[in-house]
Structure 1
Amino acid sequence: MRRLYIATIFLGTVLLGSGCKKFLDVNQDPNNPMDVSEKLILPPVEVTVSTQVVGGYNGVNNAYWMQQLSQNQPSPGQETFRIFPVDVDNTWTYYIYPNILNNLRLMMNQARTAGHNEYMAIGKTLYAFNLAIATDVWGNVPSSEAMKLPEVSRPKYDSQESIYQQLQVLLDSAIYYAGQPKSAIAPGTDDYIYQGNMAKWKKLAYMLKARFYLRLTKAPGHTAAAQADLALAALANAFADNSDNATVSYTGGAQAESPWFKNTEPGAGGVVMNKTFIDFLKNNNDPRLPIIATKDVDGGYTGRVPGATTIPDPTVLSQVNSFYAAADAPLFLATYAEALFIKAEATFIKSGAAAATPVYQAAIKAHMDMLKVDGAAAQAYINSRPALTAANGIKEIIYEKYVAGFLSIETYNDWRRTGYPELQLPENPFVNYIPRRWPYPSNEILANPQPDHKVTTADRVWWDAK
């Protein structure tokens, strides 16, 4: 994975060189270099998605707000909702738009010209994945004009509703390209997610279609039943088992550590397990607890009270365990367990508790298997869970999805959409509500003023309807 790190540096050098070596040529657009191959563009894009977005500020912030992790600091601002436009600058200004979406656009332009179907499929899938992340946290964002520099220096903002339509179009196109004959030049080791396996990329595209369909169960103009039908149809072609999980692996060497290792190592803001999450696992006698969290100095499991200003000795608190936080731990972008939880919820919506129960149980088992929990212990836990009913079905499904989605960016989306898990405000909150969105970044507010920038973190995005 050290080569993965070098590739990131190399692409930046190549793109920079593409602009600088012809600095005096006004007809050369440094945002559109034409001499960088797809094999050089793809690796650093995937690394940026994994390390700087899913495992970066987005993932860390979600884990704090959803009370899975806590900051062992005297003033834990991030987990108490102290978020300002400058805090989200990097995610927008350096990662999602230029390093991911623009580079994917360049890659797809090259692939389209050369007839490289595989890179088209991967590019469209990753484009949809990251555009969804942007619209989910900010609402209306640039899309249709976002990649038209330098002609359009101040792109308009597209509605979230139109972006969600675009996501499905992108994924349908990805599925088409993934099914085309193999190209003369196809991805292999330069693809850190699936190593060029297009059958798996096709499954991921279907999985994301289901994720995005179910996101709209309460969106204006949509019904839960219709979205459930669409999700179930997509899932019929999505992940079949844990071998289909979309992951990025890390070797753990210098400059090649998992982002959650870097996020939780000593000195990384004093990151520890949150009391809310630990207590939920403890109260349910969940066999995943010792795999997810380390023991405290007394041999038990203790999470930090969210928002507390006291700073206990870190040894009395549980840390994130090695499955998720080792230097060589994989980063999960989408999992079979998530696919089954989506299926369980969609089945519950369409067919009721009895039909959803075996799917719900299979989803729990899939996550247990991913963590390599003993089979008997896993089954005993599943048997101990409350039966799904018309009254508790969504709650039970989402609570278990919350556990299986530990450190996932999806837990925040599910909380906004369903209200689960039912979270209390942390101590000493900066605002008296859990934010429904992020503020727009300061760089964007200055460079491209828009009416949308007037929203506050209390305002809901389009699909987050009451």
Structure 2
Amino acid sequence: MKSILNISKGILSVALVSVAFASCSEDVMDRINEDKDHTTAVPAKFILADVITSTAFSNIGGDFNTYFSTYVEHMVGVDNQLANAETRNGEPAASSTFNNVWGNVYSTLKNARIAIDISSDELAANYTTKGIAEVLAAINSGLIADAFGDTPFSQAALPELVNGQPQFLTPELDKQEKIYASIMEYLDAAIADLPQGDKSSSIGSYDFIYKGDKDAWLKLAYGLKARYTMHLLARSADKEADLRKVIEYVNKSFTSIDQQAAFAIYDATNINPLFDFQWSRDGLAASKSYADKLIERNDPRLRRIFSVGQGYVTKEEKAVSVQITGVNDPRFLMASNGTAEPVKYKYNTPIFVYSQTCPTMLMSYHELLFLKAEAEARLGEADAVNTLKSAVVAAIANAEIGVAAAFNAPTVKDYGGVKETTKAITPTEAATYFDTSVKPLFDANPVKEVMVQKYIAFLGAFGETTECYNDVRRLKAMNEDYITLLNPYKFPLRAPYGADDVSANPNVENAFGNGQYVYTDPVWWAGGTH
């Protein structure tokens, strides 16, 4: 009688022979089916061109920015989904609302991580290209964490596949605090890598922000360190030390508006995302609560940044829209927050909705200055007033870039354009406005006026409303009610998870529940538990 062991060996031998033949056959078929005409290894610079574009257009300038504009009352939703967002009718808590940007931001993060790996392997390592990828990974990680709080991260958007599939099909949620640690690690790595240069081919023209300028990207990395450090202020164990870090990081970052991180390649066919939305949907109107802040300060931007609804343009004017001259203009009509009629073309709109070629900001110069001014004001430093003055002057100059983009929008001009009725605000006028209107309010409450001026500055087609939303939530966490909002409905404290993973990932589905947590559970850095 043969032993079971020998039988097993015989069976095993046959099995191995069968596997060998099968493997040989599969290898032959793989060689036959191999595509020899297309590369399977893509240089990191090509990937980063896509990462930069998707970061700016889809992730910073897209759905986050559009919906959050109604939450913080930069604008008022008056049609379809945006009207629902305005009245909190389903949209803020629905998994479908942010599903597109949910997919986009994770895809962009994955590509940034792939670029990090590739640039590490390219010859002796392309350190500057790697550093750029690390900065972009940090920005997209920040968008994910700030919007969703606890969310898939360490098991999601990974560059490596296993048998052609993601390593984790149902990734677990990471704590927002842990994601923030990763953001800082990305930025610290970038700060170390960027100055070392590229050993083989430079990213060059594939970098649509700085054309491969390592010093410029290094300044951005330090600016982002300041931003994300300030986000964590409500959770800080040593606020004074962290505020001083913010100042230190800002001092290593941009020194002029020319250095800000602007994605500025829009033209007649590659169009700014806010313009793209409004031109096709017309779902946004000018906000009463926003305009009230300008009126209170006799802000010169009142005459520059609003235009009439298209239904109120006369035939004689032969224009798409006309610039409002100020609060005394007979056609001055703001939409009341939360209670405006859901009607297109009735109310004024921010002129920026016509800014077809306006750049999207990864980070602006005025944001840096506002971060520094806030830190100095909280520390009681005398320099805060001068820093705020520089921030306001820079912000008004930036607003004029957006206004000019509206007047020069190629598609809009084909239909008659936007009619300009007032003169641009000069730096001298901006400085006078600060001295006469802003400084007395600063003297009365320094931190409040810094935050209100930053809130005013972040309206535009630049994609900065998302950062405004972060500021509003951070101030709420610190019990600082500095930004007056008039919408009577509940304030959304976060974005809901995307429908694709709510339906496919039990971990996300359990965290989502019925979606109503967006009204009750702040993100961790804003005082919540997750």
Q: Name the TM-score class by shorter chain.
A: 0.7 to 0.9
Q: Which moved more, 1:109-118 or 1:123-132?
A: 109-118
1:110 aligns with 2:114: no
Residue 231 of structure 1: which of 243, 246, 254 is its match?
Answer: 246
Question: CA, structure 1 residues 166+224, in 2 after alignment: closer, same or farther (shift >3 Å)?
Answer: same
State the partner residue of 1:123: 133
Identity of aligned residues (%): 26
Q: Which moved more, 1:59-68 or 1:438-447?
A: 438-447
Question: CA, structure 1 residues 318+164, in 2 after alignment: closer, same or farther (shift >3 Å)?
Answer: same
Q: Deviations over 1:67-98 (max 9, x none)?
A: 111222388102223320111211112x0112
State the partner residue of 2:427: 375
State the partner residue of 1:65: 71
Q: Distance in 2 between matches of 1:263 and 1:118?
A: 35
Q: Distance in 1 between matches of 2:168 and 2:396?
A: 49
Q: Distance in 1 between matches of 2:250 and 2:218?
A: 11
Structure 1's unaligned 5+ residue stretches are 1-21
State the partner residue of 1:144: 154
- Which amino acid in structure 2 is aligned with residue 171 of structure 1? L
- Which amino acid in structure 1 is aligned with residue 426 of structure 2? D
TM-score, scaled to structure 1:
0.85
Residue 273 of structure 2: which of 246, 253, 259 is its match?
Answer: 259
Deviation (angstroms), 1:460: 0.9
Q: Deviations over 1:270-327 (max 9, x none)?
A: 322112112222332212233322256455533211223525562x5322325x6422
State the partner residue of 1:364: 392
Q: Distance in 2 between matches of 1:386 and 1:263?
A: 37
Question: CA, structure 1 residues 34+351, in 2 after alignment: closer, same or farther (shift >3 Å)?
Answer: farther
Question: CA, structure 1 residues 224+325, in 2 after alignment: closer, same or farther (shift >3 Å)?
Answer: farther
1:183 aligns with 2:182: no
TM-score, scaled to structure 2:
0.75
- Which amino acid in structure 1 is aligned with residue 138 of structure 2? A
For residues 91-102 of structure 1, the aligned pairs below 5 Å read: 91-93=101-103, 95-98=104-107, 100-102=108-110
Question: CA, structure 1 residues 302+116, in 2 after alignment: closer, same or farther (shift >3 Å)?
Answer: same
3-state secondary structure, aligned to 1:145: coil
Please say if residues 98 and 498 of structure 2, whose CA atoms lie closer than 8 Å, have aligned partners that are also in contact: yes
- Which amino acid in structure 1 is aligned with residue 147 of structure 2? V
Please say if residues 214 and 342 of structure 1, whose CA atoms lie closer than 8 Å, have aligned partners that are also in contact: yes
Q: Deviations over 1:366-418 (max 9, x none)?
A: 11232353123212210121436687222111100001111411000000111
- Which amino acid in structure 2 is aligned with residue 387 of structure 1? P
- Which amino acid in structure 2 is aligned with residue 50 of structure 1? A
3-state secondary structure, aligned to 1:302: coil
Question: CA, structure 1 residues 118+290, in 2 after alignment: closer, same or farther (shift >3 Å)?
Answer: farther
3-state secondary structure, aligned to 1:434: coil
3-state secondary structure, aligned to 2:452: helix
Deviation (angstroms), 1:23: 11
Q: Distance in 2 between matches of 1:319 and 1:250?
A: 24
Deviation (angstroms), 1:238: 0.8
Q: Distance in 2 between matches of 1:369 and 1:151?
A: 48
3-state secondary structure, aligned to 2:361: strand
Please say if residues 451 and 483 of structure 2, whose CA atoms lie closer than 8 Å, have aligned partners that are also in contact: no
State the partner residue of 2:320: none
- Which amino acid in structure 2 is aligned with residue 341 of structure 1? F
For residues 252-291 of structure 1, the aligned pairs below 5 Å read: 252-254=267-269, 256-265=270-279, 267-291=280-304
Deviation (angstroms), 1:45: 1.6
Deviation (angstroms), 1:151: 2.3
State the partner residue of 1:201: 217
- Which amino acid in structure 1 is aligned with residue 204 of structure 2? G
Q: Distance in 2 between matches of 1:124 and 1:290?
A: 41
Q: Distance in 1 between matches of 2:358 and 2:493?
A: 30
Q: Rg larger in 1 or in 2?
A: 2
Q: Distance in 2 between matches of 1:336 and 1:325?
A: 23
Deviation (angstroms), 1:43: 1.7
3-state secondary structure, aligned to 2:203: coil
Q: Deviations over 1:339-379 (max 9, x none)?
A: 01100111122234x33111111111111232353123212
Deviation (angstroms), 1:158: 1.5
State the partner residue of 1:132: 142
Question: CA, structure 1 residues 23+88, in 2 after alignment: closer, same or farther (shift >3 Å)?
Answer: farther
3-state secondary structure, aligned to 1:70: strand
Please say if residues 204 and 239 of structure 1, whose CA atoms lie closer than 8 Å, have aligned partners that are also in contact: yes
Q: Distance in 2 between matches of 1:421 and 1:259?
A: 29
Please say if residues 289 and 485 of structure 2, whose CA atoms lie closer than 8 Å, have aligned partners that are also in contact: no
Please say if residues 216 and 224 of structure 1, whose CA atoms lie closer than 8 Å, have aligned partners that are also in contact: no
Question: CA, structure 1 residues 235+376, in 2 after alignment: closer, same or farther (shift >3 Å)?
Answer: closer
Q: Which moved more, 1:142-151 or 1:395-404?
A: 142-151
Please say if residues 74 and 308 of structure 1, whose CA atoms lie closer than 8 Å, have aligned partners that are also in contact: no
State the partner residue of 2:455: 402
1:342 aligns with 2:371: yes
Q: Distance in 2 between matches of 1:132 and 1:318?
A: 33
3-state secondary structure, aligned to 2:244: helix
Q: Distance in 2 between matches of 1:205 and 1:290?
A: 36
3-state secondary structure, aligned to 2:86: helix
Q: Distance in 1 between matches of 2:427 and 2:67?
A: 33
For residues 416-435 of structure 1, the aligned pairs below 5 Å read: 416-419=473-476, 421-426=482-487, 429=489, 433-435=490-492
Greater share of residues in helix: 2
Deviation (angstroms), 1:127: 0.5
- Which amino acid in structure 2 is aligned with residue 168 of structure 1? M
Deviation (angstroms), 1:195: 1.6
Residue 445 of structure 1: which of 498, 502, 508 is its match?
Answer: 502
3-state secondary structure, aligned to 2:341: coil
For residues 451-462 of structure 1, the aligned pairs below 5 Å read: 451-454=510-513, 456-457=517-518, 458-462=520-524
Q: Which moved more, 1:403-412 or 1:304-313?
A: 304-313
- Which amino acid in structure 1 is aligned with residue 106 of structure 2? Y
Residue 84 of structure 2: which of 51, 59, 77 is its match?
Answer: 77
Q: Distance in 2 between matches of 1:240 and 1:211?
A: 16
Deviation (angstroms), 1:226: 2.4
3-state secondary structure, aligned to 1:301: coil
- Which amino acid in structure 1 is aligned with residue 336 of structure 2? V
